[in-house]
Structure 1
Amino acid sequence: MASKVRTLLYLLLACAVVLLLDLVYLASNSSGRQRNGYSVRRGSKDHGSRWASDNNGALPAGTIAVPINRTEYLNPNKNCSIGKSRQRMVNTYGAKFNASLPAFIDARFIHIPHILKYPPPFGFDNSVPSVFKLLQHLPATGLPADLQRKSCLRCVVVGNGGILRRSALGGVIDNFDVVIRMNDAPTRGFERDVGDKTTIRIFYPESAPKKDKDYVGKDWLFLMMAFKVQDLTWLETMAKGQTLASTKEFWKRPAIKVPKPAKDFRLLNPAIVSETAFDVIGLNRNDGKMKANVPTTGSIAIMVGLRLCDEVAIVGFGYNFNDPNSPMHYYDSIRMNDMKKSWTHDISQEKAMLLQLVQQGIITDLTGGIR
């Protein structure tokens, strides 16, 4: 009798230990499944199966897994569907999206519809002589020849969001045909998360990298978005290999010299900016004056990608205003709360537009920040 009681106690003790271990496991997974804003459930229709494939192969310690099949995106022969993103954009927005708009300005710019209606950044009103003068020093106005020869191009637009921290997406990003980055966001020291490849960097003079080391060994296109006439003069100075004589016309100190050859500079078509702002996002035209009606560089970069590439993906997008102390960028200590101080962007309307692009399959959000 005593032995039976002892056996029963052992069984009860074993059950209690198993139950305790299960509770600890569930608690740890509950917090882990909320990382990066995902509500990932084991076996869910949304991300469950893709989440499982993420764990095939060890990721670096401390990495935040993202719900994509890394094996698929690391495949050098990944399939590409000709015209996929662009056609879906046309299907969704109709005449609001002009798929024939060139991404880069050349000598034929004066024939682009409505380009002289507004001043920069929405057009070239009162800037035509400066544009023509600049174009004399830009020997190339298209994509590099090796990319033009490809029948289908896959783009990834790399946002600067803090969601990229510990994502380990560097290899995935570098496997795209065209990698579009923005402003002075660095890659050096962040290669594991954001990669090292750059095809196009979109910027304005005040946001251009200022250190020579940021240009060394980098063969990429420098695509400038002009906010004012002085920006056109700045780009002309840089393309001529000269040093900027005065910085008083800029809201903060720009790069005074850019160690890149003239063949690498491009000028962004402002018609893309106005179309994105007024037609696609639906911001206030305000007679072409800037006031919470300028799209972020990220949205403009996506619209550039839709003109250049057949498939467009994004990483590092999304603002988490529910956590004002979360990092705004992957590379600095600026907090999300600072974004609310912006007077040039309407984040809420832009967020709605980006969500529609994702929901309609126009772009693929690899980090899941658009929701």
Structure 2
Amino acid sequence: MQRKQKVLTLLCCFLTLTTIVLRYSYHESSSMYYLNILHGWSDSTLPNKPCACEHCVSEAHTSPWFDERFNHSIRPLMSENTVLSEDIYIWWQMLQQEQDPANLTAVMEELFKIIPSKEVYLDWGAPRCRKCAVIGNSGNLKGSSYGSQIDLNDFVFRMNQAPTAGYEKDVGSKTTHHFMYPESAKHLQPSTSLVLIPFKTLDLQWLISALTTGNITQTYTRVLSKITANKDKILIINPTFFKYVSNNWLENRGRYPSTGLLTLVFAIHICDEVNVYGFGASSEGNWHHYWENIEGGAFRQTGVHDADYEYNITRTLADIGKIYFFKGS
């Protein structure tokens, strides 16, 4: 009899505990439901998501390949507080083997008196859905009619020469950020951010000169002595980010990453949705710029970049759903 009472007591305790757990679970789920309504969150914008887009490029645990390479803690841009480790500084200076470089600290102090010194694009989080278009210069953009689609993005990244006048139907007219180095520099509209990719200390000195005195006219080739650009919208790629792309993404293939790959990984770091256009060969297998009529491997066989490996990275990112890749014509 006593044994039966013990069993009944234990059963009652179990049922009571189960009831409490179920009520608590219901209460929690109901609270989350009303919390979602209060904040305007949908299923795709719950607080544990890194952005408000349907698919967030920075979302972890969706691909081991991506997780091994992507490091959100790396800051893509320089600021007045940027400090380079000795190994990164040596690696960076060897990219174009600058002889007797100027003191980097002194150059940076002078530079950040002219351009903004604060870090930007650190506003990622659940409420944001920043859509970006990365526009390569491939001839596959000819006849693509992507222009209006490209211009719908919040940010539109272009690189090097990349003309838009006369090509708007295929490449769009909007440019929010233009990536360049001194030897590929061009004049920009006031609404466009100049994003400098520095390969050496002299490149930072060139930017100072191009915005002020115009006294630097030569690096390893002739460069623009002055440039038209909005000083308040100038950004500098961090050499630490440069090396991270080379190590993590390229696995040190090629001498250093191309402008295209740097821009693409930059977009992955500061955007929530990344749309990629103008990468790879044309449908005829030709590698040329969309504004040129050059057959063959005009910009592919540079001897500096591993173009095939870089393109495979782009395709893999598309295959695992991290970017949207538009093949063109």
TM-score (norm 2): 0.73
2:324 is the alignment partner of 1:364: yes
Instruction: Identify the residue that residue 167 of structure 2 maps to in structure 1.
Output: 190
**Helix, strand or coil for the counterpart of 1:118?**
helix
Instruction: Identify the residue that residue 97 of structure 1 maps to in structure 2.
Output: 70
2:321 is the alignment partner of 1:349: no
Asked if 1 retains the 8 angstrom alpha-carbon contact of 2:131 and 2:273, the reply is: yes
Find 1:157's aligned residue among 120, 134, 141: 134
Q: Which amino acid aligns with 2:136?
A: G
- How far, CA to CA, are the matches of 2:122 and 2:228 in structure 1? 22
- How far, CA to CA, are the matches of 1:164 and 1:108 in structure 2? 40
Asked if 1 retains the 8 angstrom alpha-carbon contact of 2:139 and 2:282, the reply is: no
Instruction: Identify the residue that residue 217 of structure 2 maps to in structure 1.
Output: 247
2:276 is the alignment partner of 1:314: yes
The CA RMSD over aligned residues, in Å, is 3.3
Following superposition, the deviation at residue 94 of structure 1 comes to 2.8
- How far, CA to CA, are the matches of 2:318 and 2:266 in structure 1? 16
Q: Which has the larger radius of gyration?
A: 2
Residue correspondence of structure 1 range 255-334 to structure 2 within 5 A? 255-284=224-253, 292-319=254-281, 323=285, 326=286, 328-334=288-294
Instruction: Sort the Cα spacing of 1:356 and 1:145 in 2 relative to 1 into closer, same or farther, 3 A.
Output: closer
Instruction: Identify the residue that residue 17 of structure 2 maps to in structure 1.
Output: none
Following superposition, the deviation at residue 236 of structure 1 comes to 1.5
Following superposition, the deviation at residue 244 of structure 1 comes to 2.3
Asked if 1 retains the 8 angstrom alpha-carbon contact of 2:144 and 2:328, the reply is: no
Structure 1 portions without partners, runs of 5+:
1-78, 285-291
The count of residues paired between Structure 1 and Structure 2 equals 274
Instruction: Identify the residue that residue 86 of structure 1 maps to in structure 2.
Output: 58
Deviations 1:187-221 (A, max 9, x none): 11111111111111110011011xxxx534x4111
Asked if 1 retains the 8 angstrom alpha-carbon contact of 2:209 and 2:216, the reply is: no
TM-score (norm 1): 0.65
Following superposition, the deviation at residue 99 of structure 1 comes to 1.1
Asked if 2 retains the 8 angstrom alpha-carbon contact of 1:313 and 1:365, the reply is: yes
2:148 is the alignment partner of 1:179: no
- How far, CA to CA, are the matches of 1:257 and 1:232 in structure 2? 13
Deviations 1:255-279 (A, max 9, x none): 2111223112111112222121222
Asked if 1 retains the 8 angstrom alpha-carbon contact of 2:277 and 2:327, the reply is: yes
- How far, CA to CA, are the matches of 1:353 and 1:115 in structure 2? 23
Instruction: Sort the Cα spacing of 1:141 and 1:198 in 2 relative to 1 into closer, same or farther, 3 A.
Output: farther
Instruction: Sort the Cα spacing of 1:277 and 1:118 in 2 relative to 1 into closer, same or farther, 3 A.
Output: same
Instruction: Sort the Cα spacing of 1:364 and 1:83 in 2 relative to 1 into closer, same or farther, 3 A.
Output: closer
- How far, CA to CA, are the matches of 2:106 and 2:59 in structure 1? 35
Instruction: Sort the Cα spacing of 1:339 and 1:156 in 2 relative to 1 into closer, same or farther, 3 A.
Output: same
Instruction: Sort the Cα spacing of 1:131 and 1:122 in 2 relative to 1 into closer, same or farther, 3 A.
Output: farther
2:107 is the alignment partner of 1:119: no
Following superposition, the deviation at residue 93 of structure 1 comes to 3.2
Asked if 1 retains the 8 angstrom alpha-carbon contact of 2:142 and 2:170, the reply is: yes
2:202 is the alignment partner of 1:225: no
Asked if 2 retains the 8 angstrom alpha-carbon contact of 1:122 and 1:271, the reply is: no
| Identity rate, percent | 26
Asked if 2 retains the 8 angstrom alpha-carbon contact of 1:121 and 1:225, the reply is: no
Asked if 1 retains the 8 angstrom alpha-carbon contact of 2:78 and 2:237, the reply is: yes
Following superposition, the deviation at residue 253 of structure 1 comes to 1.9
Following superposition, the deviation at residue 116 of structure 1 comes to 3.5
Instruction: Identify the residue that residue 335 of structure 1 maps to in structure 2.
Output: 295
Q: Which amino acid aligns with 1:222?
A: L
**Helix, strand or coil for the counterpart of 1:110?**
coil
**Helix, strand or coil for the counterpart of 1:119?**
helix
**Helix, strand or coil for the counterpart of 2:92?**
coil
**Helix, strand or coil for the counterpart of 2:206?**
helix
Deviations 1:142-179 (A, max 9, x none): 5589999x722011100100000011111100000110
Asked if 2 retains the 8 angstrom alpha-carbon contact of 1:159 and 1:317, the reply is: yes
Q: Which amino acid aligns with 1:347?
A: A
2:113 is the alignment partner of 1:136: yes
Q: Which amino acid aligns with 1:297?
A: T
- How far, CA to CA, are the matches of 1:300 and 1:106 in structure 2? 18
Following superposition, the deviation at residue 329 of structure 1 comes to 0.8
Deviations 1:89-133 (A, max 9, x none): 874333532112222211221177964452248799963432333
Instruction: Sort the Cα spacing of 1:331 and 1:358 in 2 relative to 1 into closer, same or farther, 3 A.
Output: same
Instruction: Sort the Cα spacing of 1:319 and 1:155 in 2 relative to 1 into closer, same or farther, 3 A.
Output: same
